[in-house]
A = this chain, B = another copy of it.
Amino acid sequence: MENEDERGLRSRFRAGPKTPTSPDIDSSLDGECNRGERHQLNGDNHVISNGKIEVEQVISKKLHLKRKAEHLRIDLMRQFDSQVNDFVDSLIEESASLEPVPVPAVFSPPLSDKERSKLRDFRPPHGQGKLFVSRRSLLDELFEVNHIRTIYHMFIALLILFILSTVVVDFIDEGRLVLDFDLLVYAFGKGPLVVCTWICMFLSALLIPYTLFYQWSQTQSGSYSHPKLCSFLFCSVFLLYQALGLGFLPTYVVVTNSLPPASCFIIILEQVRLIMKAYSFVRENAPRVLTWAKEKNTAGPVVPLISQYLYFLFAPTLIYRDKYPRNPVIRWGYVATKLLQVLGSLFYAYYVFVRLCIPQFRSISLQLFDLRAMVLCVFNSILPGALVLFLAFFAFLHCWLNAFAEMLRFADRMFYKDWWNSTSFANYYRTWNVVVHDWLYYYVYRDFLWVSQKRFKVGAMLFVFTVSAVVHEYILAVCFGFFYPVLFCLFMCFGMMFNFILHDQRKGPIWNIIMWTALFLGQGVIICLYSQEWYAQRYCPLQEPSFLELLKPRSWSCQRPDDGL
């Protein structure tokens, strides 16, 4: 099996010029070998090495083979001809039938030419937006290659060793098997509150934007006297809901109840996701209603069903469509595997923190601004940082999204591209998280360009960067309970800088190496600085901090107490 596997792979892998085997054997004999011996190996060597084989016999054999081959060849040609015929016929059929419908419109609601020309007023003038296509995730394809699956196995082996060593050390320390995951229990604490908050958020995000949109679409039918005023009012109410109902309230709940980090992450990430989803729903459907209001060629405005909006709220995408490409069946085994992998990643992250991060930062974090210690700290944080990066990518962008996509029969699984091969940060940002990137690209970047009449391309990019950096920093600040804009600075200074230095013209392998060096270093800095600040907040709490004191990083001034923990 091994060998077959290997051979199959080699042929699948081979991209460069194929190494010729038999010609090479001949040419390889040109070396230092005896010319006389060579003669025996080439051409008519059968005559020399076995005198009994007659030349006539060979010729008759050749003729026999030739006759047989002729029959086979004729059969083959006949079959091939009929197949080519069928293929050409069906191709012509297809091409004629598909022609009048432009392909990108297949998943947009069908519109007449007139409709479309009018729509241009409300849509940015650049095609139809994101096109959803049935496709698998790249990792699912790569894991079919045994060399790459082995890397996955190596990570599992490492997890087993993490578990093993922790269990053994705990056993020695306590004299019994210790299997409490206190860190996980702490991080995911206050579960009921999280569930309640989530249900409220979700229901409000389902009902309020939909109802508002539905009501607004009715005001555009002409029976109301001031449709523009109505639009303004409804738009204000919607934005107010986004800002207060989805924006302020969950954050308030999180902060006042001082939820632990992981529970906090759940709420805040859901908050951001629902805000983006609701925005996309309105952003995609408003132009259709406005077009209808101008044309009035159907009885009522085209408002999606609430079931379509509900599907969208669960679907792993941030771009609303009435329908998406769907798979015919749900593979429940696949769903179970992906959810198990999410769980595995969670425990992996637990062990990374317990074994690699906590011991390090508990003991060395708080020497007052010692550059040497800082460099070592960053360097020692690179391994946990890289592991956390991979785990976050694998658990969320691959497993979690694929599990939900599978359960919803959602067929477009391109949640990420091959960001690991990026030779530029521009490409890395585009490929790391396609789901969020698409939202930012269509609704922030392109709409910015559209509003500004394509005059500020660099400005649009800066704006997208800033939005992304601010939201990332907001999430971290709320979840950790302190404001320490490391990620923001990395994003805005180095991320931007690298985005211009490592632009898309960079293609060589050296740029991929630089990308990885910067990524590892960035992860090291993030893990190191946030961990230091986390412990500084624990060691040096402020009684009645002023606003300025709240903004000032505690790790810059906190001296470590002498006693252990």
- Taking a contact as CB atoms under 8 Å apart, the answer to whether A92 and B62 are in contact is yes
Which residues A201-222 have CB closer than 8 A to chain B? none
Residue A92 contacts which of B69, B96, B138, B153 (CB distance < 8 angstroms)?
Answer: B69
Is there a chain B Cβ closer than 8 Å to A168's Cβ? Answer: yes
Query: Contact string, A499-514, partner B, CB cutoff 8 A, digits 1/0?
Result: 0000000010100111
- Taking a contact as CB atoms under 8 Å apart, the answer to whether B106 and A41 are in contact is yes
Query: Contact string, A432-469, partner B, CB cutoff 8 A, digits 1/0?
Result: 00000000000000000000000000000000000000
- Taking a contact as CB atoms under 8 Å apart, the answer to whether B154 and A24 are in contact is no
Closest to A148 in B: B147
- Taking a contact as CB atoms under 8 Å apart, the answer to whether B141 and A13 are in contact is yes
- Taking a contact as CB atoms under 8 Å apart, the answer to whether A100 and B50 are in contact is yes
Interchain nearest-CB distance for A96 vs B (Å) = 5
Which residues A362-394 have CB closer than 8 A to chain B? 371-372, 375-376, 378-379, 382-383
**A70 CA to B307 CA in the complex, in Å?**
49
- Taking a contact as CB atoms under 8 Å apart, the answer to whether B65 and A328 are in contact is no
- Taking a contact as CB atoms under 8 Å apart, the answer to whether B77 and A81 are in contact is yes
Closest to A521 in B: B161
Cβ–Cβ < 8 Å partners of A327 in chain B = 24, 28
Cβ–Cβ < 8 Å partners of A65 in chain B = 92, 95-96
Is there a chain B Cβ closer than 8 Å to A557's Cβ? Answer: no
- Taking a contact as CB atoms under 8 Å apart, the answer to whether B307 and A32 are in contact is yes
- Taking a contact as CB atoms under 8 Å apart, the answer to whether B144 and A513 are in contact is no
**A441 CA to B328 CA in the complex, in Å?**
53
Cβ–Cβ < 8 Å partners of A172 in chain B = 371-372, 375
Name 9 A/B residue pairs within 8 A (Cβ), A-sorted. A28-B324, A29-B323, A31-B323, A32-B323, A45-B110, A46-B100, A160-B513, A165-B375, A172-B371
Q: Chain A interface (Cβ within 8 Å of chain B)? A: 1-2, 5-6, 8, 10, 12-16, 19-21, 24-25, 27-33, 37, 40-41, 43-46, 49-50, 53, 58, 61-62, 65-66, 69-70, 73, 76-77, 80-81, 84-85, 88-89, 91-93, 95-97, 99-101, 106, 109-110, 112-113, 133-136, 138, 141-142, 144-151, 153-154, 156-158, 160-161, 165, 168-169, 172-173, 307-308, 311, 322-328, 355, 371-372, 375-376, 378-379, 382-383, 409, 411, 417-418, 420-421, 427, 507, 509, 512-514, 516-517, 519-521, 524
Given contact pairs A1-B507, A37-B109, A46-B99, enumerate 19 new A-B contacts (beta carbons under 8 Å). Answer: A13-B141, A13-B142, A15-B144, A25-B133, A31-B409, A32-B308, A33-B323, A37-B110, A49-B110, A62-B96, A66-B92, A77-B80, A147-B420, A151-B151, A154-B516, A157-B519, A157-B520, A161-B524, A169-B375
